[in-house]
């Protein structure tokens, strides 16, 4: 259910999250999301909690967490508070890996900036041949 109490169809959930219907079904099969509520006609209906959880999964994916780890995190989440310490450890480890990747990307960015500066300098003062 959304904030106003209505459930989202697959198309609405896709629009809300930016995930395709295929990806939404894959996430369900991969056990990243709990089985989705169904109508009498067997059509999926997503809740506001599903939207929030999918937004978090998208963030994990976009920060480079592999599906295997995302699945483990989802499994732990389903256990509730007893797994809080394990989930915290997973997120701290992922954040550390992300920080290392960011540092590497920043180093690459600096190298590119240096090369761009050289090329701009070359173009600003053409050498005679």
Buried b (16+ CB within 10 A) or exposed e, 33-42: beebeeeeee
pLDDT at position 35 is 85
Q: How is the chain split into domains, by residue range? A: 1-62, 83-129
**What fold, for 1-62?**
Multidrug-efflux Transporter Regulator; Chain: A; Domain 2 (1.10.1660)
Place of tokens 């180093």: 107
90, pLDDT greater than 60: yes
pLDDT at position 4 is 56
pTM for the predicted model, two decimal places: 0.80
3, pLDDT greater than 70: no
CB 33 within 8 A of CB 57: yes
């Amino acid at each position: 259910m959304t904030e106003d109490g209505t459930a989202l169809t697959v198309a609405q959930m896709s629009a809300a999250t930016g995930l395709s219907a295929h990806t939404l079904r894959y996430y369900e099969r991969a056990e990243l999301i709990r089985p989705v509520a169904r109508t009498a006609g067997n059509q999926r209906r997503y809740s506001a909690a599903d939207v929030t959880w999918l937004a978090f999964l998208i963030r994990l994916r976009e920060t480079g967490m592999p599906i295997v780890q995302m699945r483990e995190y989802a499994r732990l989440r389903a256990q509730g508070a007893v797994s809080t310490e394990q989930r915290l450890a997973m997120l701290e480890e992922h954040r550390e890996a992300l920080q290392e990747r960011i540092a590497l990307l920043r180093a690459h960015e600096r190298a590119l900036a240096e090369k761009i500066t050289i090329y701009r300098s070359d173009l600003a003062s053409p050498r005679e041949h």
